[in-house]
Amino acid sequence: MKFSLNPKKYDDVSTLSDNDLICYCCDVDKQSIVKAIKNGSRTLKEIKATTAACTGDECAIVNPNKRCCSKEIKQLIKLVSL
Ligand code: FES
């Protein structure tokens, strides 16, 4: 069993810092997505268009969650839009 002093839950955006990546395929960090939301992007489609996040195809290889980053982007849209 592995232990970590500061474990991050990559599927919970509230535990990630501004510089942590959300989209590993396209190297898009949390603060870039938050900025796009604050500038008016309110849907996954709009985030894709403004940041290029969620447009890659190597998720299973490069993303710690082993899947696409769309879930985390949708979490951020909800959090930031409140
Ligand atoms: S992790 Fe975002 S498209 Fe693959």
Summarised one tens digit per residue, pLDDT across range 3-56 is 555 567 888 999 999 999 999 999 999 999 999 999 999 999 999 999 999 999
Domain count for the chain, please give it. Answer: 1
DSSP-derived secondary structure for 57-71:
S-HHHHSTTSS-SHH
Cα–Cα distance measured from residue 34 to residue 6, given in angstroms and rounded to the nearest whole number: 23
Residues with CB under 6 A from ligand 1: 23-26, 53-54, 56, 59, 63, 68-69
Does residue 22 sit within a domain? Answer: yes
For tokens 């409140």, name the residue: 82
Average pLDDT of the residues in 51-63 = 97
The pLDDT value given to residue 8: 78
Q: Is residue 39 included in any domain, yes or no?
A: yes
Tokens of 24: 């590993």
Query: Does residue 1 surpass a pLDDT of 70?
Result: no
Question: Could you tell me the residue range of the domain that residue 64 belongs to?
Answer: 13-81
Question: Is residue 69's pLDDT more than 90?
Answer: yes
The model carries a pTM of: 0.89
Instruction: Work out which ligand 1 atom sits closest to the CA atom of 58.
Output: 4
- Which CATH number covers residue 32? 1.10.10.1100
